[in-house]
Amino acid sequence: MHTGTPIYSGKAKTLYTTDDPDKLIMGFRDDTSAFDGRKLAQLSRKGKINNRFNAFIMAKLAEAGIPTHFEHLLSDTESLVKKLHMIPIECVVRNLTAGSVCRRLGVKEGIALDPPTFEFFLKNDELHDPMVNDYLIRSFNWASDADIARMKELTFRVNAVLKDLFFAAGILLVDYKLEFGRYHNEVVLGDEFTPDGCRLWDAATREKLDKDRFRQDLGGVVEAYEEVARRLGIGIQ
Ligand code: ADP
Ligand code: TMP
Ligand code: ASP
């Protein structure tokens, strides 16, 4: 296995080819972006923390029977993953209100949602990831009915596993975004699960421990990610 050519460099990660056409190297960079790339910064150590964080969460999800692209860690900032044909849709589950749902519906932050709610967004930075629904996904053929059903099922199964995992560490899983892709016709969880793509609050104080610290200029972004990792027992040298 060797690091091949970069085939894609996004806002926070770079993908490289390998000598196996079915596998890619996913490199986590220190680059941090919010508001669809309008706010950018370099946060020292973030790539390393997110690589470890993601490996830990993906392993927990795999143990629970959720198919993921994650293979294994390769280095401090790189992991080997299955090469997926990505579905250009973001799947969001919310357990508590925060972020765009508050802006869109004029509701306060921190309202418990029972049952948790689910939203689809189109992955398109130029359009600011507009919300879409099952019908639009079908009409534009971004995914099939079976893919849609599977993405919803897997996204809720992730909630069942991770809500408890975080709660045991004194953390509320407020919301999160997942991306899926196809691997030899199977729908598989791709991309990452890190504090960059979810909201995590201290269960007692509701202190924000995720990328909202960056979005809202609260400071201590990487320190908050490290605190979550420490509470989950993720070792980061
Ligand atoms: P963005 O593209 O939103 O700026 P990143 O910087 O995180 O985001 O780049 C990672 C990109 O890799 C994303 O576009 C994501 O959809 C894609 N991706 C994630 N996992 C895989 C995979 N296993 N195979 C192919 N592409 C993937
Ligand atoms: P939102 O409140 O902005 O809609 O985001 C909901 C959750 O999904 C939040 O944890 C952030 C995450 N998310 C991303 O990581 N990237 C995205 O492009 C979007 C739309 C949401
Ligand atoms: N992940 C998106 C971005 O990088 C949206 C966000 O996190 O605010 O811009």
pLDDT tens-digit series, residues 141-173: 999 999 999 999 999 999 999 999 999 999 999
- Whether 172 is in a domain gets the answer yes
Mean pLDDT of the region 134-141:
98
Domain assignment present for residue 160? The answer is: yes
Angle at 54 between CA 121 and CA 78, to 5 degrees: 110
Show the domain range for 77: 6-82
> What whole-number distance in Å separates Cα of residue 115 and Cα of residue 137?
23
CA distance 82 to 80: 7
Please tell me the predicted confidence (pLDDT) of residue 236. Answer: 79
Q: Are the beta carbons of 94 and 101 closer than 8 angstroms?
A: yes
> Which pLDDT tens digit goes with each residue over 20-47?
999 999 999 999 999 999 999 999 999 9
Eight-state DSSP code of residue 142: S
Chain-centroid distance, C-alpha 114: 22
| Rounded Cα–Cα distance for residues 56 and 228 (Å) | 12
Structure tokens at 147: 């893919």
Ligand nearest to the CA of 179: 1
Cβ of residue 36 lying under 6 Å from some atom of ligand 3: yes
- Examine residue 230 and state whether it is found in any structural domain, yes or no: no
As a whole number of angstroms, the distance between CA 58 and CA 162 comes to 10
- Answer with the one of 63, 82, 101 that is the final residue of a domain: 82
State which of 174, 175, 209 you would mutate to test the pocket of ligand 2, scoring each by most atoms of that ligand within 8 A of its C-beta: 175
The tally of domains found in the chain comes to 2
Do 120 and 73 fall into the same domain? no
Task: Give the residues across from 117 on adjacent strands.
Answer: 94
Rg (CA), the chain: 17
Instruction: Tell me, using a 6 A CB cutoff, whether residue 124 lines ligand 3.
Output: no
**Has residue 1 got a pLDDT over 60?**
no
Our answer on whether the CB atom of 37 is closer than 6 Å to any ligand 3 atom is yes
Residue 66, token pair as written in the block: 């959720």
